[in-house]
Amino acid sequence: MKKFILSLILAYTGSLLAQETVHQAAPKFSPVVNPDKSVTFSLLAPQADSVRIVASFLDSPLVMSKDAAGMWTATVPGLKPDLYNYRLEIDGVVTADPSNPYLMRDISTQSNTFIVPGENADLYITQDTPHGTLSKIWYDSPSLGMQRRISIYTPPGYNAPENKERKYPVFYLLHGMGGDEDAWSELGRATQILDNLIAQGKAEPMILVMPNGNAHRPSAPGYTPEGLYLPDMMHSVSKPGAFENSFMDIVNFVDANYRTIPDKQHRAIAGLSMGGGHSWRITMNNPDLADYVGLFSAAVRWNGHGTSPEDKFPEKEAELLKKQFERNPRLYWIGIGEDDFLFELNKQYRHFLDANSYPYTFHRSKGGHTWTNWRDYLVIFAQQLFK
Amino acid sequence: MKKFILSLILAYTGSLLAQETVHQAAPKFSPVVNPDKSVTFSLLAPQADSVRIVASFLDSPLVMSKDAAGMWTATVPGLKPDLYNYRLEIDGVVTADPSNPYLMRDISTQSNTFIVPGENADLYITQDTPHGTLSKIWYDSPSLGMQRRISIYTPPGYNAPENKERKYPVFYLLHGMGGDEDAWSELGRATQILDNLIAQGKAEPMILVMPNGNAHRPSAPGYTPEGLYLPDMMHSVSKPGAFENSFMDIVNFVDANYRTIPDKQHRAIAGLSMGGGHSWRITMNNPDLADYVGLFSAAVRWNGHGTSPEDKFPEKEAELLKKQFERNPRLYWIGIGEDDFLFELNKQYRHFLDANSYPYTFHRSKGGHTWTNWRDYLVIFAQQLFK
């Protein structure tokens, strides 16, 4: 019996080698996270003259060392718990590490992933807890005249018979420039974070809605009739206001198709960078929509008014924000890293809020405009919702 | 206004270069499918000594040529319409093409993807049609004592108010050795195929269920508490019978959570390779379960009996198949490529069916044990269901 299975495996593998040469097994898994949280990278490349690790967690590319057998190695000392991305530069070409099959796409770039466990990073791993459902679904947007792809997470137990009548709050979570409806579930680990926070009793069971914020595209690259094209930053920027003005199409779709509690007390909207700008504008345009607002490294004055942080705060937005804050949102949360290129813009905005005595919660973190921060902000923000 | 957006893009891009060095833009998109269906690959790699294309559509790795600027190029003449995978070998290292962000994982290998449009390949592209929903959901398997991740596609219109009472047939589609619940939706383009066939009126709207056939794992690599480990072929093989014997857990979950027509006339089960073996055994063990059976390059005698195709057909299975065929399944479909390493095994099995006058439909294709064939078989098989 075992012999038969083994022969089948051998035949299958042999067949693959002959028939599907792309399926060459990687010789070794890399990187290895060591017990002291150092991380060892390795690559068998006897013919290469130079191999370096290229990553945002390194100040500069790290040169790997080659042994007599052609095995290149390098160890990065004690990394703090997090999800990391990197690529390898092999004789000048920056590309994927073939020894690591875990990749994430950000705009046009695929980079490898590894996780140093512990602290928040344990929230980024699929643990042995109940799990929610992640759906890739298409909604009709009458405002934009197209069907659009959207990622929707329903929490563990949503389909259980005992919850058949239960209604849930909804958290709308928006991506940044160059992102799409896959960004928060992939780069942002949003489903793992929600599963884990809910299992630990730290977050309320909620529906998480992750739309595509680029109003002139229906969906992520690869999911359009164009087929496979090169995603780029410019392609991802739609006309200012176009997405924000179509946002109620999403809310209407979600309220019509899911068991939601369709009121202000049970809606949150947050976003990163451009999506922070979207959240900022959507909530001021619709002051009765959501009681929880999250601005993560937000392009708060995104939308075509003002060309520098020093400009006078625009009257129209001042008026809208006055109405929004008169309605006392329960949480107006601003998070940004001190090295973020939008830090000054956010500081100016906080001065405006302070000058008007509009209450908000400010979270200043280390670092800059990074997914490390955005995952952290999601973890912090999600715990404060609907309580 | 435009100036502000542009400055934000520049600041953002500049910030990324500084803060997230992994986000380097690919210099050029590759490959390009030319009007004559030749395909041109290019890679800027001035420091490399050798660049080759490694792919199952090539008899051997194709050497690329370098120009004075360090740009490597190669053109593959007239490829027939299909979805193709390839990798680049850069100074001896076989890895991803950094100029192509579209990748697919098969076991431990990520390979790049491109599509030569036309014929069936147009079915592999997300066209401007109504779209179904693809959900990654977890079901409880009492037989296996675990929660397990599963991919479920509901057809376009499933959630529309006018279909609120409508019930649908169900097609269970099983992967091969080394695969998982993501294999058919990614490598197999099953959601695009169903969307397109349904839009063209060639397939009935149906629910498509793609489980994980490795009974000792809950889910695809990366979706377990183990975190990120190296997937391998051996890890993917569970005890013979374990998955098949737990299959009713899946049927029960689907019938309890979706608007199904829960009878034999409205169920199909098909699978490729190991999954063909699973389909073979599940349907003989449960002769009243499904009227449509698809064996795609199937390991038909998978399950521990017989060690070579010449062995006498086992009595137990002969008895079970007798009962299955007494109940006249509407379609018993066998598809296999003439170069497939399982061709002889399938030939022996067809001799057994012929000797017993059990009716079946046989589709002999070119080629071997490949996703090219399995996508084709899905296209053919899906059009014959529930009519």
Mean pLDDT, residues B304-327 taken together: 80
pLDDT band at A313 (very low <50, low <70, confident <90, very high): confident
> Is B310 in CB contact (< 8 Å) with chain A?
no
Residue B226 makes CB contacts below 8 A (sequence gap 6+) with none
CA distances from B3 to A302, A313, B6, B7, B16 (A): 12, 18, 5, 6, 19
Cβ atoms of residues A19 and A56 within 8 Å: no
> Cα–Cα distance between B266 and A337 in angstroms, integer?
55
Cβ atoms of residues B261 and B167 within 8 Å: yes
Residue B323 main-chain phi, psi, to 5 deg:
-65, -40
Reported in sequence order, the residue ranges of B49-129 that DSSP labels E, i.e. its strands, are 51-54, 62-63, 65-66, 71-76, 82-90, 93-95, 103-106, 109-116
pTM over 0.90: yes
Contact B133 A131 (CB under 8 A): no
**Helix extents (H) in B288-342:** 315-326
Share of chain A above pLDDT 70, in %: 90
> Cα–Cα distance between B105 and B15 in angstroms, integer?
31
Which of A89, A126, A180 best probes binding to B when mutated, by most B CB atoms within 10 angstroms?
A: A126
> Cα–Cα distance between B84 and B106 in angstroms, integer?
13
Q: Give a three-class secondary structure readout of A231-287.
A: CCCHHHCCCCCHHHHCHHHHHHHHHHHCCECCCHHHEEEEEECHHHHHHHHHHHHCC
Span of A30-39, A182-191, B157-166, B306-315 with lowest mean pLDDT: B306-315
Mean pLDDT, residues A290-305 taken together: 83
pLDDT at B301: 72
CA distances from A176 to A111, A209, A270, B10, B157 (A): 18, 15, 11, 14, 30
pLDDT at B3: 47
> Is A346 in CB contact (< 8 Å) with chain B?
no
Whether omega for the bond prior to residue A46 falls within 30 degrees of 0, making it cis, is: no
Q: How many CB atoms lie within 10 A of CB A10?
A: 12
Which chain A residues are Cβ-neighbours of B300 within 8 angstroms?
none
pLDDT above 50 (res A231): yes
> Cα–Cα distance between B205 and B167 in angstroms, integer?
10
Q: What is the pLDDT of residues A117-174, one digit of tens each?
A: 999 999 999 999 999 999 999 999 999 999 999 999 999 999 999 999 999 999 999 9
How remote is the C-alpha of B114 from its chain's centroid? Answer: 16
pLDDT at A308: 59
pLDDT above 90 (res A42): yes
Cβ atoms of residues B210 and B186 within 8 Å: no
Which of A19, A111, A124 best probes binding to B when mutated, by most B CB atoms within 10 angstroms?
A: A19
Q: How many CB atoms lie within 10 A of CB B245?
A: 16
Cβ atoms of residues A264 and A290 within 8 Å: yes
Contact B47 A273 (CB under 8 A): no
**Mean pLDDT over the full length of chain B:** 91
Q: Which helix (H) or strand (E) holds B9?
A: helix B2-19
Q: What is the pLDDT of residues B16-47, one digit of tens each?
A: 433 443 344 445 789 999 999 999 999 999 99
Mean pLDDT, residues A97-115 taken together: 94
Contact B94 A98 (CB under 8 A): yes
pLDDT at B379: 98
Buried b (16+ CB within 10 A) or exposed e, A313-344: beeebeebbeebbeeebbbbbbbbbebbbbbe
Q: Which residues on adjacent β-strands are paired with residue B140? A: B147
Contact B306 A1 (CB under 8 A): no
Share of chain A above pLDDT 90, in %: 83
pLDDT at B312: 77
Buried b (16+ CB within 10 A) or exposed e, A38-65: ebebbbbbeebebbbbbbbbbeebbebe
Residue A270 main-chain phi, psi, to 5 deg:
-140, 160
Q: How many CB atoms lie within 10 A of CB A205?
A: 18
Residue type, A69: A
Q: Which of A22, A234, A304 sits opposite B54 (nearest CB)?
A: A22
Contact A4 B304 (CB under 8 A): yes
Whether omega for the bond prior to residue B31 falls within 30 degrees of 0, making it cis, is: yes
DSSP assignment of A26-40: PSS---EE-TTS-EE
Cβ atoms of residues B215 and B240 within 8 Å: no
Contact B3 A49 (CB under 8 A): no
Which chain B residues are Cβ-neighbours of A342 within 8 angstroms?
11
pLDDT band at A23 (very low <50, low <70, confident <90, very high): very low
| Residue B124 DSSP symbol | G
**Mean pLDDT over the full length of chain A:** 91
**Residue A306 token pair:** 């003002």
Q: Give a three-class secondary structure readout of B255-289.
A: HHHCCECCCHHHEEEEEECHHHHHHHHHHHHCCCC
> Cα–Cα distance between B206 and A364 in angstroms, integer?
50
Q: Which of A19, A126, A227 sits opposite B368 (nearest CB)?
A: A19
pLDDT at A44: 96
Residue type, A142: P
3-class secondary structure, B102: coil
Q: What is the pLDDT of residues B83-116, one digit of tens each?
A: 999 999 999 999 999 999 999 999 889 999 999 9
Q: Which of A55, A133, A233 sits opposite B13 (nearest CB)?
A: A233
Provide, for chain A, the percentages of residues in helix, strand and coil under a 3-state DSSP scheme, each rounded to the nearest 5: 30, 25, 45
Q: Which helix (H) or strand (E) holds B336?
A: strand B331-337
